[in-house]
Amino acid sequence: MTVNKISTITYAHELEQRYAAASRRDEFYVKEDVIYFDGNSLGLLSKRAETSLLSVLESWKTHGIDGWMQGERPWFNLSEELGASMAPLIGAEAEEVIVTGSTTSNLHQLLATFFKPAEGRTKILADELNFPTDIYAIQSQLQLHGLDPADHLIQVKSRDGQTLQTEDMIEAMTDDVAVVILSGVLYRSGQVLDMEKVTEAAHARGILVGFDLCHSIGAIPHALDDWNVDYAFWCNYKHLNGGPGATGGIYVNKKHFGTQPGLAGWFGSAKDRQFDMEHTFTPAAGAGALQMGTPNLLSAAPLIGSLELMNEVGMEAIRERSLALTAYLQELIETDLADYEFTVTSPREDAERGGHVFVVHKEAARICKALKANGVIPDFRTPNGIRLAPVALYNTFEEVLETVNILKRIMEEEQYKQFENKREVVA
Spatial contact of 189 and 163, defined as CB atoms under 8 Å apart: yes
Cα 153 to Cα 161: distance, rounded to the nearest angstrom: 19
215 a known binding residue?
Answer: yes
Distances in Å between the Cα of 366 and the Cα atoms of 53, 98, 290, 356, 403 are: 37, 41, 43, 20, 16
237 a known binding residue?
Answer: yes
Among the listed residues 335, 340, 318, the one whose alpha carbon sits nearest the alpha carbon of residue 11? 335
Spatial contact of 200 and 229, defined as CB atoms under 8 Å apart: no
Q: What own/partner pairs with CB < 8 Å and gap ≥ 24 does 137-145 have? A: 137/104, 137/107, 137/108, 137/111, 138/107, 138/111, 138/181, 140/108, 141/108, 141/111, 141/112, 141/115, 145/115, 145/117
**At 133, phi and psi to the nearest 5?**
-60, -35
CB atoms within 10 A of CB 154: 17
CB atoms within 10 A of CB 135: 18
Helix H or strand E encompassing 216: none
212 a known binding residue?
Answer: yes
Q: Is 387 a catalytic residue?
A: yes
166 a known binding residue?
Answer: no
Mode of pairing for the β-strands spanning 249-252 and 97-99: antiparallel
Q: Which of 114, 211, 387, 394 is catalytic?
A: 387
227 a known binding residue?
Answer: no
Spatial contact of 311 and 378, defined as CB atoms under 8 Å apart: no
Per DSSP (E only), the strands in 34-103 are: 35-36, 97-99
133 a known binding residue?
Answer: yes
Cα 38 to Cα 239: distance, rounded to the nearest angstrom: 10
266 a known binding residue?
Answer: yes
Q: Which of 48, 123, 188, 238 is catalytic?
A: 238
Q: Which of 212, 230, 336, 379 is catalytic?
A: 212
Q: Is 238 a catalytic residue?
A: yes
Spatial contact of 122 and 138, defined as CB atoms under 8 Å apart: no
Q: Which of 131, 281, 340, 419 is catalytic?
A: 131
Tell me how far the alpha carbon of residue 109 is from its chain's centroid.
Answer: 18
103 a known binding residue?
Answer: yes
Spatial contact of 382 and 427, defined as CB atoms under 8 Å apart: yes
Q: Which strands make up the sheet holding 343-344, listed edge to edge?
A: 343-344, 357-360, 385-388, 379-381
Cα 406 to Cα 371: distance, rounded to the nearest angstrom: 7
Q: Which of 114, 237, 380, 397 is catalytic?
A: 237
294 a known binding residue?
Answer: yes
Q: Is 237 a catalytic residue?
A: yes
134 a known binding residue?
Answer: yes
Three-class secondary structure of residue 99 per DSSP? strand
Helix ranges (H only) for 239-314 are 297-313
Q: Which residues are catalytic?
A: 131, 212, 237-238, 387
Per the annotation, binding residues are: 103-104, 131-134, 212, 215, 237, 266, 294
User: Residues marked as binding for pyridoxal 5'-phosphate?
Assistant: 103-104, 131-134, 212, 215, 237, 266, 294
